[in-house]
Amino acid sequence: MSVWESILVALDNLRMNKMRSFLTMIGIVFGVAAVVTVVSIGQAGQYSIMSELSNYEDGYFVIYPKSDNGRIEDNAYFRLRDLAEIRKLPEVRYVSSSAAHGMTGKHKKEELQFSITGTTSDSPKMKKIDMVAGRFFNSQEERARQKVVVIEAKFADKAYGSPQAAIGRKIQLSGGMFRIVGVYREQESLMGGFGGERYFAYAPITVMPGREGTNDRLSMLEILPASPEKMDETIDALKSWLADRKNVGKDAYVTESAEDAEQMIKSTFSILQTIIGSIAGISLIVGGIGVMNIMLVSVTERTREIGIRKAIGATPGNIRFQFLIEAVMLSFIGGTIGALFGLSAAWVFALISGWPFVVSLWAIVLAFGFSAAVGIFFGWYPARKAAKLQPIESLRYE
Amino acid sequence: MIVLKGITKIYKNGPLEVQALNPIDLRIEKGEFVAIMGSSGSGKSTLMNIIGCLDIPTSGSYELDGTPVESLGEVELARIRNRKIGFVFQSFNLLPRQTVLQNVTLPMMYAGVSREKRNERALELLRRVGLAERVKHRPNELSGGQKQRVAIARALTMNAPLLLADEPTGNLDTKSSHEIMALFKEIHAEGTTIVLVTHEPDIAGHADRIITFGDGRILSDKRKGSAGE
């Protein structure tokens, strides 16, 4: 009896008990669907955050004063004038700072909410800013405190019809009239959907509110080292310079690199996936117990059939294989349906959340491997029981 | 063909021991047609099951077609049941959810015969027992006599040298019984050894040799006329 024939016989048997097979499969379907959904969404999330992180140049890191129970020593803050001096350090290639300010803008009498990031002209050299028209503001404009702005394409399209049409226009913001010099495309962000409708833009850090006069504290700096491999040396040099300059300890500052964030996100996701995956795995085990239960019932019901098969020449191995295949088919079909459900759920989630839809091969392999393993594991005992039945006693069974 | 020496069978039922077979010595030659008679509980079915390798004797030796059987494991026993023995039971013992054709092909499936050869052979045998037009039916759509003919076709598929029939006419009317016995005679005439268990004297009368059982031992062993070679 070939494997293929055994599979056909098993399918035949399952078809003869449609309702029962279906109900038994549901447990496996849910278990596998849960595993596939969790793994797929997890990978999509990871992929989406990682692709955001890849917008930063290699070696990029930020540095900020360490807070002691929420308090930061005033002299530890960075100042605008520090930027120029840090740029002169041999270990540093570019330095910048970014801070977002909520501003109200006016366009054709309509009030619009903006989130304007005050930064330096070095910003586009450290992270990807996807320009679609015009240019980023330059260092002269920054030094001369010119009110120029780089707006996002979504706003350009809405207000002026196209990115090109926006160049050279002026827009009323809470900080005054700003001239549009460039249009960029905002990255689809993980958090993009939250916080209501607002538009993003970049403007020189020197024209942001609170930058005039002496109150020009910056809470963080963005650094790109001269060479990405020498990030640690750069951090060390920078900390020494700051400690010296600001009269604080070397440990008064903390750094965070894109690489650190990547590691952290990876481990966070893997912990999350392990936890949720384990819970999903439990439902798979419960499903497997369902398979075992129904197989035990089936063995008892078919005791006489087993006796007949043995009388005409079935070996214990033939019988064991027959029942094992049946259990595996049960969980395998359940696994297939579950995987389809899981992928559909992940796809729907991707549509709603804006995350990419990642068909995770790993999730599918896991689901099929798991369901087949469940079938073998929970089918083994009933199959063994069937194989061990004595032919003469089985034949007498009514 | 069959050599039994000192075969006993003791059933243990808790502390109780039931001696189903007292030491039995029996020889059945190739090509014989033997009927085993006796009342229920006489031990005739127990002997039949031991000859059919469905049950294992408590002690004694059993040689079937030159093979000492008592030392064999389950896999070898299954192989012997498959190749050397065809079974016909009182209650037919067909698989109810399979078609007539599938039932007849089953022993060949376990022997690893290819699908085409299986179907070809099964059809040939079903034609022989007069059920060629019933191949797609299920057993519950057949009469008792037809079911037993399917079972006989199944018993013949592997060309087994030994046919064991346990009360094959016990559930049949007189007309069907006669048809079945005629079929057995035909099969016997082709050289198959037949051992038949029955409690009906007229059925036993078809055999060449009648062994009567009682209380777990052989009471008499008679050959018909001078055919006792």
What pLDDT is stored for residue B148 in this prediction? 95
Least confidently predicted of A100-104, A225-229, A276-280, A283-287: A276-280
pLDDT in tens, B25-51: 999 999 999 999 988 888 888 999 999
- B118 touching chain A per CB within 8 A: no
| H or E stretch at A333 | helix A316-353
- A5 touching chain B per CB within 8 A: yes
Q: Do A315 and B110 touch (CB under 8 A)?
A: yes
Q: Do A1 and B112 touch (CB under 8 A)?
A: yes
**Residue for token pair 């199959």:** A383
A28 shares its domain with A74: no
Q: Which of A236, A256, A276 is the last residue of a domain?
A: A256
What pLDDT is stored for residue A196 in this prediction? 61
For chain B, state the CA radius of gyration. 18
What pLDDT is stored for residue A175 in this prediction? 76
CB atoms within 10 A of CB A69: 4
CB atoms within 10 A of CB A29: 25
| Helices H / strands E in chain B, number of each | 7, 10
What pLDDT is stored for residue A372 in this prediction? 85
Cα B51 to its chain centre, rounded Å, is 9
A32 shares its domain with A77: no
Residue A127 DSSP one-character state: B
pLDDT in tens, A150-159: 999 988 988 8
List average pLDDT for each run of 10 residues in chain B, which is 229 residues long: 92 85 93 92 89 92 90 92 94 92 94 92 94 93 94 95 94 92 94 93 92 91 67
For chain B, percent helix, then strand, then coil, each to nearest 5?
35, 30, 35
- B93 touching chain A per CB within 8 A: yes
A249 shares its domain with A157: yes
For the segment A349-359, the average pLDDT, to the nearest whole number, is 81
A6 versus A310: which is more confidently predicted? A310
Q: Which of A156, A148, A153, A191 is nearest to A173 (CA)?
A: A148
A343 and A366 Cβ atoms separated by less than 8 Å: no
pLDDT in tens, A307-326: 999 999 999 999 999 999 99
Torsion of CA A331, A337, A343, A349, to 10 degrees: -110
- The alpha-carbon gap from A20 to the nearest alpha carbon of chain B, in Å, equals 17
Least confidently predicted of A138-142, A208-212, A233-237: A208-212
Kindly list the strands in the beta sheet with B16-28, ordered across the sheet, starting from the edge strand earlier in the chain.
B16-28, B2-13, B59-64, B67-68
For the segment A251-280, the average pLDDT, to the nearest whole number, is 84
Beta bridge partners of A107: A110
A294: pLDDT strictly greater than 90: yes
Q: Do B78 and A316 touch (CB under 8 A)?
A: yes
User: Considering only CB atoms, which chain A residues are within 8 Å of B87?
Assistant: 311-312
* C-alpha to C-alpha distance for A122 and A119, rounded to whole angstroms: 8
Closest in B82, B93, B95 to A313, CB measured: B82
A282 shares its domain with A307: yes
* C-alpha to C-alpha distance for A218 and A246, rounded to whole angstroms: 14
A105 CB-contact burial (10 Å; exposed 0-12 / middle 13-18 / buried 19+): buried
ipTM exceeding 0.90, yes/no: yes
* C-alpha to C-alpha distance for A224 and B172, rounded to whole angstroms: 97
- The alpha-carbon gap from A368 to the nearest alpha carbon of chain B, in Å, equals 30
Helices marked H in chain B: 44-51, 74-83, 100-111, 115-128, 144-156, 174-189, 201-204
A68 shares its domain with A162: yes
Measured CA angle at A121 (ends A116, A122), to 5 deg: 115
Q: Which of A208, A241, A256 is the last residue of a domain?
A: A256
A383: pLDDT strictly greater than 70: yes
Q: Phi and psi for B62 in degrees, rounded to 5?
A: -135, 125
The angle that helices A316-353 and A258-301 make with each other, rounded to 10 degrees, is: 140
Closest in B55, B111, B112 to A392, CB measured: B55
Distance from the first to the final alpha carbon of chain A: 27
A118 shares its domain with A249: yes
What pLDDT is stored for residue B227 in this prediction? 46
pLDDT in tens, A80-96: 888 888 888 888 899 99
- Residue A118's domain comprises 61-256
* C-alpha to C-alpha distance for A322 and A10, rounded to whole angstroms: 7
For chain A, give the percent of residues with pLDDT over 70. 96
What pLDDT is stored for residue B117 in this prediction? 94
A340: pLDDT strictly greater than 80: yes
A235 shares its domain with A190: yes
CB atoms within 10 A of CB A28: 31
The answer to whether the Cα torsion of A70, A76, A82, A86 is positive or negative is negative
- B213 touching chain A per CB within 8 A: no
A277 shares its domain with A154: no
A242 shares its domain with A307: no
Q: Do A313 and B81 touch (CB under 8 A)?
A: yes
Least confidently predicted of A212-226, A238-252, B72-86: A212-226
For the segment A185-200, the average pLDDT, to the nearest whole number, is 67
What pLDDT is stored for residue B94 in this prediction? 95
Count of domains in chain A?
Answer: 2
What pLDDT is stored for residue A188 in this prediction? 64
Q: Which of A217, A236, A256 is the last residue of a domain?
A: A256
Chain A to chain B Cβ contacts (< 8 Å): 62
* C-alpha to C-alpha distance for B69 and B57, rounded to whole angstroms: 10
pLDDT category at A189 given cuts 50, 70, 90 is low
A190 shares its domain with A81: yes
A43 shares its domain with A86: no
* C-alpha to C-alpha distance for A40 and A48, rounded to whole angstroms: 12
- B58 touching chain A per CB within 8 A: no
**Can you give the pTM of this predicted structure?**
0.73
Q: Do A308 and B95 touch (CB under 8 A)?
A: yes
A252 shares its domain with A118: yes
A185 and A134 Cβ atoms separated by less than 8 Å: no
Pairing of strands B59-64, B2-13: antiparallel
What pLDDT is stored for residue B212 in this prediction? 94
Q: Which residues contact A300 (CB under 8 A, 6 or more apart)?
A: none
What pLDDT is stored for residue A298 in this prediction? 93
Instruction: Please report how many Cα atoms fall inside a 13 Å half-sphere around the Cα of residue B214, on the Cβ side.
Output: 4
